[in-house]
Structure 1
Amino acid sequence: MRIEPTIKNWRIRRKFFSLLLIAAIAVTFLPLPSHAAAPFAGGDGTAESPYQIASAEQLDEVRYHLDKHFILTADISLSDYGDWEPIGAFQSLSDAPEDAEVPQPAVAFTGTFDGNHHTISNININKPMSMAVGLFGCTVGTEENPGSISNLNLENVNAAGYYLIGGAVGLQHQNFMVQNVTLTGTNEIQGLQGVGGIIGTSFDTVKNCTAIADIVVTGDDGACAGVVVGGTDGGSLLNCTAAGGSVTATGKNCWALGGVCGAPYAAPKITTCMAENVTITASGTNNRLIGGLVGFTGTYGEDAPTSVTNCTVAGITINVSDSTTCVGGLVGGSTAGSTQTIPSVFAIKDSSTAGAITGGTASVGSIAGYAYHSTVENCTSTMTWNSGILNQIGENVAVPVKSRGGRSSGGSSSSLLTPPALATDSSGNTAGSAVDITFNDDQAWRTAISRLTVDGKVLTNAQYTITAGSIRIIAGVLETPGNHKIAVISSGYSNAVIAQTMTEASIASVVRLAGSNRFETAVAIARAGWTDGADNVVLVYAFDFPDALAAVPLAKKLNAPILLTSKTELSSVTLAEMERLNAKKITLIGSAGVISQNVEDSLIARYGRNNIVRYGGANRYATAAAIAEAMGQTGKAVLVNGETAHYPDALAISPYAAYHGIPILFTEASRLPAETARALTTQNVGAAIIVGGEGAISAEVFNQIPGASRYGGDDRYGTAVAIIKGLAHEFNQVYVVTGVNFPDALVAGNLAAHTQSPLILVDKQIPEAVQTFFTTAGQDIAKITIIGGEEIIPASQISDLLKALE
């Protein structure tokens, strides 16, 4: 799995589990120090003579020898460890986008662990805000030196995490085998996404594993949960059994829940797997992809579908809300991935199901809830739905069925009904605009609609709305000119298909935000981004840049506009905007030497002492460090040159840093200030983005910063473009600011972060790097927002930008 920003639109293209990893990387782990001596019962840590583990204390020492080989020689209880620290952690290989999901071997477990059929029991892990949680946190191997965990029994595991949680392993990455592992006793594994009894998320084969566990999905948007494995990416499941327990999700919008595995994505094989006496509950609204064996599976090539063979579901109880879709006795269904335009495909053969499904209104089947270009062959079922019989496939999209009996009780599937005729939208259909499809209302058909596809790509629920006689596809979905095939899929009906023509979109709209001075421009920006007011306001000094730009990530976290003040008094324009916003709390950035006590006192008189907060230090480096501390530890940082000549670098990176919650710290060109060095340590920074070339931040400083990666161009304009390309922004609008002086641009980064958009810097002429960027990415840009008045960025420059877009 890799992240690849495209040349055309810099969009991040990820496989299925990329979102789980990226969303989860909130803390970067650092390597643990190695111990001089290995206090084990014997062995030398080689494959021929593995370290022998005979006690809990010796097991705890494994974390200091992550690349060695181990064998368990006795049963071990971890009851004396109230909160076990997982062995091996996940840290990105580097801050480069293509390495975001690749584990850093230095901090992951890369060796082998042979349980020797012994038992490790009474494991308690309570890390509800952490990722990669388990007896082992993160494991990875190489083709030359594959790793493994094998022949291990676990008993009585209670583990809580946020992402990627398993009793044995939180994240099993590539070239690392997990086999012959059992989980028995009383076990509860809980987390939001990637939650499994034995493995949270796997990128390799899982073989001969059996588990009894209660899996709890904690919150809305939970995903990928199963009694044995939460989810896999590219690995097979072979002879794995869920021998009892439950999978429970009470939140809304949860998906991919299964008896054995929630989401074996792109799995080559699921062979001889069984789920027995498992209860699956999804009681919230708008859940999907729930299966007795697996919730979601499939590959994206019909020539090599996921093979589901000789699998059994017995004594399964599936209870879901009425709004749940894609529920199957064996497989919940297939769906489209982030980089695939059609649903995935699978081939089910020689399998059986028995149990009961209660709830669900669309795409419910005794074998598969939803199937696309897949096969179901020689399968049997006695599964019931709301105490009645049901088809083996709930929603059949060109699926050959070769089973004994189309319904669970035998007999053939009923023929599909004819949907109403659809009418295309014939008004104002420029590419990127919303589209209204109309039809003579048929309530039965309309309420049974389960999904829409555009050119084979399944739309999310947020991308369309359905009302009586009309379906609206929101703006931005049909974003390219030409003919688009739209299919409306409704359970029990043939697909309703039309062709919608979209015309060439007009060039991007242009908006200018400006005032007669810097204070008014800041107010214009606040009004554009916070039209309905804001509880928080961040106040910065108007006549220098460091404090204002360092404050952008904090402002984003507070969902606060940034307004400007002089040193000694608030302007009437700023006060009026604070009143319009109906602000409740004011955050001052900078010491009393930057924003005077007089300003603070006047705010206290208006808002009360408890509603005024100040973050400041003796200089710009200390103030930035104070802001970073206020944001909390993230394990990451952005470093830019804090000298005035280099303010554009801080400006250009500020939207990215803010949107990802990364603090901005300042350095000198050839010296790392003590305040910044301390902040890197206290913030536990293990990965840093360095902005600018060696003229801005020298190699000597670069080498002092943990996990540093540099983004820079030939000049300030090229650096801004390099940030967009290298950090893979996804956007359809840009903000254009001057790269010559900072006053009007000072708070632009905050609005750009608020709308998830990048900043482009221009000079009196359009720089070559910017010209190339607009020429290349122009088709994706629907809106350009100019920050500053005509005297800052004249109309002639805007005209040049629009010509580049054409």
Structure 2
Amino acid sequence: TGTVTAVGQSGTITVKAAAKDGSGVTASKTVTIEGCEHALAAGGYGGGAGTAAKPWKVSSQAQLAHVNSHLAASFIQTKDLSLSGDWTPIGGNSLTVFSGIYDGGGHLVKNLFIPRSAQVNHAGLFGYINSATIRKIGVTNFTVYDSGSGLAGGLVANSDSGSLVEQCYVENGTVVGTYHAGGLVGQQINGGEIRDCYSVGANVTAPAATSTGTYDAGAIEGMSFAGSKVTRCFAIPGTISGGERGGISGGTEYATSTPTTFSLCYFADDMGVAYAVGRGWSGSSQIGAFNPPGTAGMASSLFSDATKFAGWNFASTGAWSMSAGSSHPTLRAFPQ
């Protein structure tokens, strides 16, 4: 008999046993052990290896915060988390980006709080992601302020270089950003996609337009630049206010060789925002609020009717579900 008291890394140990009767018979067996890369009490991961095949398991606020120490690794969340205190975003800026995979496992992060006094330029659960994948996570009851000169989103502040945000949602929160503010994502840049996501009850604020700048607020995203995509998303906004405001996106590049593309996206146009996009621009040319191809507004009372979402997959193999009595579609990845 024996006890393994600490394992710093995942690996193998060889166990050798001898017959108790003194006959001299022995046998050996190699056992694989998943180690803890860091003290559990300080947010270390007791399961997984940080790879796509064996992601580290996140089951506490400390472990979620510790993602900042492994920004290129893979993670899966195993339970709902309720945060306390001020949150430091994962991947705080362009020098410390999150480039890994975070799978929420169909779980929530509740009570995210980033005050203006924290002086965070990229404010969100994730601050700056680059070539990353964020999926199957919901953020509820959140309050997010940027520093007064940055970007803000309930889930991600800045999504860069082909990052994918899929099967995620935000519900009942406040986002205040200086340049671009989005209920789900503050800004998409250099390609990337928001796919099968939604925003309900997000109050999003950006400053009013001035002679020196225009600022964007949207229920899904604040701004998307050339090459970005928004696919099969919907929004039932709270209050959207800013220089330019949209039911899906505050602003978007539209007249380029690789414009932002929208596909099968819907927003409630009876919640104070009449258009999907607050402004379109290309270089020095701008147009006002508009509904680009692939977007449509409808009354919030119609969001309980699955037939209004043409092209969406509500089958058991699809991403979406419409439960009896629900006021809007939900994601099948989350408990129904």
Residue 157 of structure 1 pairs with residue 142 of structure 2: yes
Shift in Å, 1:268: 4.0
Return the offset for 1:350: 7.7
Cα gap change, 1:268/1:40 in structure 2, threshold over 3 Å: closer, same or farther? same
For residue 57 of structure 1, give the secondary structure of its aligned residue in structure 2.
helix
Structure 1 unaligned segments of length 5 or more: list them: 1-34, 91-102, 142-146, 282-290, 298-334, 356-806
Does 2:51 correspond to 1:66?
Answer: no
2:217 matched to 1:225?
yes
User: Secondary structure at the residue paired with 1:63?
Assistant: helix
What letter is aligned with 2:176? Q
* Contact 2:167/2:195, CA 8 A, preserved across alignment: yes
Aligned partner (choices 284, 296, 308) of residue 279 of structure 2: 296
- 2:181 counterpart of 1:195: yes
Rounded to whole Å, the distance in 1 between the matches of 2:101 and 2:295 is 34
User: How far, CA to CA, are the matches of 1:352 and 1:200 in structure 2?
Assistant: 21
Cα shift at 1:130 = 3.3
Deviation at 1:75, TM superposition (A): 0.6
Conservation of the 8 A alpha-carbon contact between 1:41 and 1:54: no
CA distance in 2, matches of 1:229, 1:70: 24
**What is the match of residue 4 of structure 2?**
none
Does structure 1 retain, via aligned residues, the 8 Å contact 2:265–2:296? no
Q: 1:171 aligns with which of 128, 135, 158?
A: 158
Structural mapping, 1:285-364, within 5 Å: 292-297=275-280, 335-338=281-284, 348=292, 352-353=296-297
Encode CA deviations 1:462-481: one digit per residue, 9 max, x unaligned: xxxxxxxxxxxxxxxxxxxx
Structure 2 CA distance for aligned equivalents of residues 241 and 353 of structure 1: 10
Report deviation, 1:343. 6.7
- The answer for the alignment partner of 2:122 in structure 1 is 132
**Matches of 1:264 and 1:85 in 2, distance apart?**
28
User: Contact 1:248 / 1:280 at 8 angstroms: preserved in 2?
Assistant: no
The correspondence for 2:87, drawn from 81, 84, 88, is 84
Q: Do 1:239 and 1:271's aligned partners in 2 also have CA atoms closer than 8 Å?
A: yes
Distance change >3 Å, CA 244–CA 350, structure 1 → 2: closer
Query: How far, CA to CA, are the matches of 1:226 and 1:187 in structure 2?
Result: 13
Which whole-Å CA distance do the structure 2 matches of 1:351 and 1:109 have between them? 30
Deviation, 1:224, is 1.6
Deviations 1:377-399 (A, max 9, x none): xxxxxxxxxxxxxxxxxxxxxxx
1:36, distance to aligned residue in structure 2 (A)? 5.8
Q: Which has the higher strand share?
A: 2
Deviations 1:121-145 (A, max 9, x none): 111111364321100110002xxxx
Residues in 2 aligned to 1:74 and 1:350: alpha-carbon distance in whole angstroms: 35
- 8 A contact 2:124–2:156 mirrored in 1: yes
Distance 1:62 1:71 in 2: 11
What corresponds to 1:110 in structure 2?
99
Secondary structure at 1:58 match in 2: helix
Residue of structure 2 equivalent to 1:123: 112
Could you say if the C-alpha distance between residues 269 and 40 of structure 1 is closer, same or farther in structure 2, counting changes exceeding 3 Å?
same
CA–CA distance in structure 2, aligned partners of residues 151 and 265 of structure 1: 28
**Closer, same or farther in 2 for the Cα pair 1:351/1:45, shift >3 Å?**
closer
Aligned identity (percent) is 26
**CA apart distance, 1:240:** 1.2
CA distance in 2, matches of 1:171, 1:53: 23
Q: Name the counterpart of 2:253.
A: 265
Contact 1:40 1:58 in 2 (8 A): yes
Per the TM alignment, residue 218 of structure 1 is displaced from its structure 2 partner at its CA by 3.9
Aligned counterpart in structure 1 of residue 231 of structure 2, from 238, 261, 277: 238
**Are residues 1:216 and 2:202 paired?**
no
Rounded to whole Å, the distance in 2 between the matches of 1:196 and 1:150 is 17
The within-5 A match list for 1:372-771 is: none
Aligned to 1:57: 62
Q: Which amino acid aligns with 1:112?
A: I
Structure 2 unaligned blocks of 5 or more: 1-36, 300-336
SS at match of 1:279: coil
TM-fit CA distance, 1:257:
1.2
| CA positional deviation for 1:296 | 2.1
Cα deviation, 1:715-746, whole Å, max 9, x if unaligned, reads: xxxxxxxxxxxxxxxxxxxxxxxxxxxxxxxx
Deviations 1:198-250 (A, max 9, x none): 1000122111110120112245545121011111112011111112312023x
Q: Secondary structure at the match of 1:245?
A: coil
Q: Secondary structure at the match of 1:153?
A: strand
Cα gap change, 1:178 to 1:351, in 2 (>3 Å): closer
Q: 1: distance between equivalents of 2:124 and 2:294?
A: 34
Q: Which deviations, in whole Å up to 9, do the C-alpha atoms of 1:6-65 show, x marking residues without a partner?
A: xxxxxxxxxxxxxxxxxxxxxxxxxxxxx8667114101011100000111111111111
SS of the aligned residue for 1:40 comes to coil
**Larger radius of gyration, structure 1 or 2?**
1
Q: Is the 8 A contact 1:245 1:278 kept in 2?
A: no
Question: Does the aligned pair in 1 maintain the 2:89–2:125 contact within 8 Å?
Answer: yes
Separation (CA, whole Å) in 1 of partners of 2:282 and 2:266: 26
The residue that corresponds to 1:181 in the other structure is 168
Give runs of ≥4 in structure 1 deviating > 6 Å. Answer: 341-344
Instruction: Tell me, in whole angstroms, the C-alpha distance in 2 between the residues paired with 1:134 and 1:342.
Output: 28
In 1, the alpha carbon distance for the partners of 2:298 and 2:173 equals: 25
Displacement of 1:263: 1.1
TM-score by length of 2: 0.67
1:218–1:51 distance in 2 versus 1, CA, 3 Å? same
Structure 1 residue 83: deviation in Å? 1.2
TM-score when normalising by structure 1: 0.29
The answer to whether the 8 A contact 1:179-1:209 is kept is yes
**More helix by proportion, 1 or 2?**
1
Seen in structure 2, the aligned counterparts of structure 1 residues 119 and 277 have a Cα distance that, compared at 3 Å, is farther
- Please say if 1:46 is aligned against 2:16: no
Q: For the residues of structure 2 that align with 1:261 and 1:173, how far apart are their CA atoms?
A: 16
Q: CA deviation at 1:193?
A: 1.6
How far, CA to CA, are the matches of 1:62 and 1:182 in structure 2? 20
Show CA shifts across 1:281-325 (max 9, x none).
7xxxxxxxxx5211123xxxxxxxxxxxxxxxxxxxxxxxxxxxx
Aligned-partner Cα distance in 2 for 1:56–1:351: 37
1:245, 1:277 within 8 Å by CA — same for their partners in 2? no
- Kept after mapping to 1: 8 A contact 2:252/2:277: yes
Cα gap change, 1:46 to 1:262, in 2 (>3 Å): same
Pair 148,85 (structure 1): closer, same or farther in 2 beyond 3 Å: same
* Structure 2 Cα separation of the partners of residues 262 and 348 of structure 1: 12
SS at match of 1:48: coil
DSSP-derived class of the 2:168 partner = strand
